[in-house]
Amino acid sequence: MKQIEIFDSTLRDGAQGEGISFSVQDKLAIVKSLDRLGVKYIEAGNPGSNPKDLEFFEEAKKLKLKHSRLVAFGSTRRKGISPDEDKNLTALLGAGTDTVAVFGKCWKLHVTEIINTTSEENFAMIYDTCRFLRDSGKRVIFDAEHFFDGYKDDPEFALEALQNAVNGGAECLALCDTNGAGYPDEIYSAIQAVCKRFPDVKIGIHTHNDRGMAVANSIMAVKAGAVQVQGTYLGYGERCGNANLSTIIPDLTLTGEYSCIPQEQLVNVTLTAREIGEISNTSIKRGEPFIGISAFAHKAGMHADGVLKLPRSFEHVPPETFGNTRRFPMSEISGRGAVLERIRKIDSTIEKNSEETAQILEALKKMEQQGYQYEGADSSLEMLIRRSLGKYKPFFELKNYKIISGRPCENDNCSATATVKVRVNDKDQLMAAEGNGPISAMDKALRRALEVFYPSLRKMHLIDYKVRVMDPKSATAATVRVLITSSDGKSVWSTVGVSSDVVEASRIALAESIEYHLIQDNA
């Protein structure tokens, strides 16, 4: 298979996404995760732009990476000065990486209207920078900024910019669809032209998702001859984001023509996504291809029945290939076979027409009559099955709780205080906590009390909380359903609670979430 280099820019381009902010320790943790996955290049930041990136590169020198090379990023020299006078290039050398990526202008519009210089000076800036870095012992990747816009506007200008990078010593030309406006056929033909013009130079692709085509454009670039794909894990990035490597890596692998990461690491594609999502404090879209919690969810009874009989009838790839799992959300359209599949994950001896299956189906119907819905709460369904089969032993007992809520003081986000008392193995623990609302306060107090007995709960936290009113006509006395999603950094699970009291419904869902985590942790 043809080897495709994966160039991850989560820590640089991804950090430009709205709501994304990485500490130095965050960046180091992401580097370790990407290195384990087998990504070849990790673009880790711009040492000339901020002190945080300078600190990161100093700390990164202590890392012992097995698969990845760190890349420092910067721009070509400024107009009118020599490379050795440019402070950004000095900082780039000081980062200590053996590979650097520098961007230069390939669209005449940017040369004349943005940096206000001549074509000749722009070409000289590209050549001088690449030559300076190459002579300093660095391997140079040239990021051809706005290449595709520039190529459509003036092909010879864009190609001449690339020629100067090559003459200066760049070993890879990464063609950038910086505005994310390219279409797959345009990307394909332009990549082919560049590969023909520079047959002895590696060609890369760097796309943005402004028209929703970043992944498709990256795949087409590879088919046209590109051997390096730049992007960000989970598609983080400015505006609509960058090409999503968590999709591209499986897509290229499944063609059977390309290899991106070590074969044995493919099972870590989903785990890596969840780790980076946790570090970034962002939720992964449920329907994200390959890695989303709903990527292999089969709700319709006919689909569930089909996939149970022959998985490839409704799945284009086995979910475990990339570390995900198959799910059968329970709803009114789920079949008995789907329910049985969930039961057999807990007790493989249960038969379809057994008394146990009938009891569980009956319990499921009763809970749904009360307002419970298990379609988005697989973990609560598992807990119901365990209780029905007698395979559930409580890890704790919540003896009582008290919540005081009021108007927060000025500049104080804590509007509620919760006190809880739990019992574990005949030992009581009392704990209080403040929170931004009654649910937040109870969540903190309950988990802190239980952390005394179960330290692994320190890794667990809520990542989503939803409330739905079941009977709006009852106004404030209506029954509500609370769905919460939790994570420990590796797994994600959802639980549900129902009550006419929103706090009690939240308590049910929260307690069940903790119980589920402890069951998995002690499995």
**E strands, 395-479, where?**
397-405, 416-424, 427-435, 461-469
Pairing type for strands 480-487 and 492-499 reads antiparallel
Compare 201 and 350 and report the one with higher pLDDT. Answer: 201
Say yes or no: domain 2-261 is CATH 3.30.300.30.
no
Q: What is the rounded average pLDDT of the residues 183-189?
A: 98
| Intervals of CATH 3.20.20.70 along the chain | 2-261
- Return the C-alpha torsion angle 474, 475, 479, 484, nearest 10: 160
For 73, other C-beta atoms within 10 Å of its C-beta total 25
Instruction: Report the C-alpha gap between 482 and 507 in whole angstroms.
Output: 9
| Position with higher pLDDT, 305 vs 215 | 215
pLDDT of the residue at 476: 59
What Rg, from alpha-carbon coordinates, does the chain have?
27
> For residue 70, is pLDDT > 80?
yes
248: region left, alpha or beta (phi > 0 left; psi from -120 to 50 alpha): alpha
Residue 115 CA: distances (Å) to CA of 111, 141, 147: 5, 22, 16
The identity of residue 54, as a single letter, is L
Q: Which of 251, 246, 181 is nearest to 209 (CA)?
A: 181
Cα separation, 153 vs 148, in Å, equals 8
139 touches 100 (CB < 8 A): yes
- Start-end ranges of CATH 3.30.160.270 in the chain? 397-521
327 HSE (CA, 13 A, CB side): 27
Amino acid at 274: R
* In contact, 112 and 154? CB cutoff 8 Å: no
pLDDT value of residue 475: 59
Give residue 139's pLDDT band: very low, low, confident or very high (50, 70, 90).
very high
pLDDT for residue 335 is more than 60 = no
pLDDT tens, residue by residue, 202-232: 999 999 999 999 999 999 999 999 999 999 9
Describe the crossing of helices 214-224 and 245-254 by its angle, rounded to 10 degrees. Answer: 40
**Band of pLDDT at residue 49, cut at 50, 70 and 90:** confident
- Tell me which of 3.30.160.270, 3.40.50.2300, 3.40.50.150, 3.90.79.10 is the CATH number of domain 397-521: 3.30.160.270
pLDDT, tens digit, for every residue of 241-292?
A: 999 999 999 999 999 999 999 999 999 999 999 999 988 988 899 899 999 9
DSSP class of residue 405 equals E
What is residue 413's predicted lDDT score, i.e. its pLDDT? 66
Contact 145, 105 (CB under 8 A): yes
Instruction: Report which of residues 348 and 330 the model is more confident about.
Output: 348
Both structure tokens of 322: 């990339």
Q: What is the pLDDT at residue 332?
A: 46
CA distance 213 to 15: 21
Burial class (CB in 10 A: 0-12, 13-18, 19+), 302: exposed
Cα–Cα distance for residue pair 246/277, rounded to 1 Å: 12
Please tell me the distance from the alpha carbon of residue 210 to that of residue 422, in angstroms, as a whole number: 51
Alpha-carbon dihedral angle through residues 9, 146, 219, 230, given to the nearest 10 degrees = -10
Residues 381 and 373: their CA atoms lie apart, in Å, by 9
> What pLDDT, in 10s, does the model give residues 419-475?
999 999 999 999 999 988 888 899 999 999 999 999 999 989 888 888 888 776 665
Question: What is the model's pTM?
Answer: 0.76
> For every residue of 204-266, which 3-state class applies, written as one string?
EEEEECCCCCHHHHHHHHHHHCCCEEEEEHHHCCCCCCECEHHHHHHHHHHCCCEECCCHHHH
Give the pLDDT confidence score for residue 362 in this predicted structure: 83
Strand, helix or coil for residue 372:
coil
**Strand 480-487, strand 461-469: pairing:** antiparallel
